[in-house]
Amino acid sequence: MMKGDIDKKLQQKNIKPTAMRELVYGVLDKNRKALSLYEIEQQFDNVDRSTIFRTLKTFQDNLLIHSVDDGSGAVKYALCDDDCTCSLDDLHYHFLCTKCGQTHCLKNIPIPAVDLPEGFNFENANFVIKGTCPNCQG
């Protein structure tokens, strides 16, 4: 994705483009899978981890990315669709490959509806399928 396109995506979410924000967005866009802070950090030379974390927090606060707790021990981050509001309607499954550790968003599998008992309020949910990805099979 070109710098101008990245800047446009950031501005659509009311995020001021900076060099670091452009770089982090570029890494997430290029990989098209959920990445941990460590995996993102490995893409750069001499970048402070806290700077990357603050960038991810800004992206998450502005609904540009969502976080995934896939049970691997590290929170991972993936780009949201353009129309995502991070609401119940945007929930989707994630697939964690038990061989390579990569996590992928599976957006075309319907999430079953859950009616919570009275007095219970929904905040968040994680739907993780574990198995072997196509690259690790064979």
3-state helix, strand, coil in the chain (%, to 5): 30, 15, 50
Query: Which residue has 């009616």 as its token pair?
Result: 115
Rg of the chain in Å (alpha carbons):
16
| Residues annotated within a binding site for Zn(2+) | 97, 100, 133, 136
| Residues annotated within a binding site | 97, 100, 133, 136
Contact 86, 61 (CB under 8 A): no
What CA–CA distance (Å, rounded) separates 29 from 23? 10
